[in-house]
Chain A
Amino acid sequence: MTNTDAVAILASNVSRHHKLGTTLIRAVDEVSAEIKKGEFVGLLGASGSGKSTLLNLIAGLDRPTAGSIEVLGRNLAQMSSEELSRYRRLKVGMIFQSFNLISSMTVIENVELPLRFAETERSKRERLVHEALDRVEMSHRLAHRPSELSGGEQQRVSIARALINNPLILLADEPTGNLDSRTGGEIINVIRRCNHELKMTVVMVTHERSIAEQVAERMILMTDGRITEQSPPAHEVCR
């Protein structure tokens, strides 16, 4: 098939089941997919179809109950929790629908947070924070707290935070879900620039096909925990 060096994410028969009493909820059920380095993939599906669960599995925040996920050649299922946190710290950046900024911290402190866990030297931090905020055009409101920012501004800050450790993969879970369409469009543009200029692999979850169609090179549709459609179809991509 494809050259393994070019594969960023390889999911093979991945399942994430939840046991609730006697019922088994198949949030993600035997999913196989391949995402190449530098690709921009839109992950589509109705609410409850398992998009977030799959994204969390790729992010190493969750573990599959069966199957394997290889990211950049390493199987996440076999990593210790310490290794997974290191992987999250250095290889992936995450963006959420609800921004998930820490409300008691200023813009600068929020963006700096991953550098603390990565043990980046203090002297280098200020430059890195400013570079990241420049990239999302948020250099003008450094000392503000999230509550003093608009939704679009908050999402820009959270993108800056995701970029700060210069990860190879950007995972976005409905990044425009809480934004009006104009602001949402701006955010999509910022994410596209990350894909184009920084050569990051992007997986963006959305339930609006129109948004995905603007930017994604490829779309994966999920229904009830399974992949039901890929466009363009997987064999075309592989060619």
Chain B
Amino acid sequence: MKTYDLLELAGRNLRESVLRNGLTTAGISIGVASLVAMLSLGSGLQDLANRRLSRSGLFDTVYVTSFRDFRESGPEERERKADVSKARPLDQSVQKDLESIPDVLEVEPEVRFMGEVRYGDATHAAFVAGLPPSDKGNENFEGMKGRFFASSHAQEAIVQMDFAKNLNEKDPNSVVGQDLILRYAERQSFRVDSDPSSGMSDSSGFSVVRKEQKLKIVGIIDQEPFGGMRSISRARLFIPTQLADDLNMMQYSDLRGITGDAVGQKTYLALVVRVTSAGRVQAVQDAIKRLGFRTYSILDATKGLRQFFAVLDLFLGIFGSLALAVASLAIINTLVMAVLERRREIGIMKAVGASDGDVKKLFFAEAGAMGLAGGILGVLLGWSIGRFINFGVNIWLHRRDLPPETIWSSPLWLIGAAIAFSILVSLVAGLYPAARASKLDPVQALKYE
């Protein structure tokens, strides 16, 4: 039988008992709707978590430290401890190397040191941290007072709210636009020409010179960006990373390496590597490890989180499918009824030349058509339910003065998969009735009653 004949016959058979087939289709659509609703919720929650985490700037970031640094030590490091002194320090050449790894957006040194701030007549101590220009788009700076640095070399500062209160207790907001003086230690490298008479074998080193830099306060932020997770200690004053580099501000790492071979070189405590997308973090991390550095990313910490979402999706999918399984029983029931009811018709079709296969295909087509219709209706229904729930959640959030959120996401693949799954389930449900119809003995079916 040609396809259009098959579809035409299937269509007219479905129309013949509109109520029964309509109810069955409604059953399928409810099943599909619950599946779509469950998976949309799962996918929406995962998106929400990803969005929150990726906008936090933590998800696409890898922290690189040298094995010279004893800051942390795991079993992996204890093994290597023997050649710690030979480990490569984090210097500008490493920065270049890391920048050339595919999918790396930028490599910035982590700048963090203790500084002294003079504002008006008073002097304050504060941890100072550098911020790379890419942080400008980060959510941490969304609600800030004032603005982000004008350029990566700008002689500007952003202060944390608590620090602003230290500077001006009565009206902390007024510090924006004011100048402050930052006192810091400048690192000046030197080389000593070898002098055998002095008995010294070292030929290079650095000296520390106290310097001052005038900075203009351009903004205030409520909290340290990234919840302070990027650092070992909370910073209260922020300057452009490049400016810190330009001014050769001395850092911990300089003191730590003071007895090493590379004293003359400028090294960094840590390099912060930004990756194009969270999905590429693992690959970049592996590449950096191969270069012989220690890495850390939030990905390491969120493995459990991703596992949680996989399990959540699985459970939501199982519950959603349950309704569809019930619907598939409705299809079997409807079609078995139809086979009984249309016994004579099936006998007639066989008598005028329908093959077993034609009869089977006809019932399959009817099952598939119900599956398709149920799938489309179900997706629409599921989508509406999702909109509705999302709407409700946002009203709830609004009452609590929280910003609106999308906890619902029905990606195209989900919609396509739901319809395809609905057709598949319907066809599987049609297997038994179709086989029964095709095996029907035409002689029995045509017996005159």
Contact = CB atoms under 8 A, between A and B. Distances in A.
B348 A102 contact: yes
A98 B445 CA distance: 13
B344 A100 contact: yes
Interface residues of A, number: 30
Q: Is the interface of B mostly helix, strand, loop or mixed?
A: helix
B417 interface: no
A118 B353 contact: yes
Nearest to B2: A119
B9 interface: yes
A59 to B, nearest CB: 7
Contact of A165 (B347, B353, B446): B353
Interface in B315-360: 344-345, 347-358
B446 A89 contact: no
B443 interface: yes
Interface string A56-86: 1001011000000000000000000110011
A88 B352 contact: yes
Given A97-B448, A100-B344, A117 B443 contact: no
Contacts of A89: 352-354
A108 interface: no
B209 interface: no
B12 interface: yes
Given A104-B12, A119-B1, A114 B443 contact: no
Nearest to A102: B345
Interface in A137-180: 161-162, 165
Interface in B6-41: 9, 12, 16
A96 B448 CA distance: 9
Interface string B167-203: 0000000000000000000000000000000000000
A162 B353 CA distance: 10
Contacts of A61: 350-351, 442-443, 446
B5 interface: yes
Nearest to A115: B5
A13 B220 CA distance: 107
A184 to B, nearest CB: 17
Contacts of B344: 100
Contacts of A25: none
Contacts of B357: 82
Q: For A85, A98, A113, A165, which residue has the most chain B Cβ atoms within 10 angstroms?
A: A85
A116 interface: yes
Contact of B351 (A90, A94, A98, A116): A94
A82 B448 CA distance: 25
Interface in A98-132: 98, 100-102, 104-105, 113-114, 116-119, 122
A100 B351 contact: yes
B355 A82 contact: yes
B352 A94 contact: yes
A56 B2 CA distance: 27
A108 to B, nearest CB: 13
A90 B353 contact: yes
Contacts of B2: 116, 119
A103 to B, nearest CB: 8
Contact of B350 (A85, A97, A105, A122): A85
Q: For B5, B353, B356, which residue has the most chain A Cβ atoms within 10 angstroms?
A: B353
Contacts of A101: 348
B2 to A, nearest CB: 5
Contacts of A122: 4
B349 A113 contact: yes
B148 to A, nearest CB: 70
Given A62-B443, A116-B5, A85 B353 contact: yes
A117 B355 contact: yes
A158 to B, nearest CB: 10
A170 to B, nearest CB: 13
Nearest to A120: B2
Interface in A8-63: 56, 59, 61-62
Given A89-B353, A89-B354, A102-B345, 9 more contacts: A61-B350, A61-B442, A85-B353, A88-B352, A100-B344, A100-B348, A104-B16, A116-B2, A122-B4
6 contacts: A88-B353, A96-B448, A113-B349, A114-B352, A117-B349, A119-B1
Interface of B: 1-2, 4-5, 9, 12, 16, 344-345, 347-358, 442-443, 446, 448
Closest 3 pairs between A and B when the two form their complex, measured CB to CB:
A89-B353, A85-B355, A116-B5
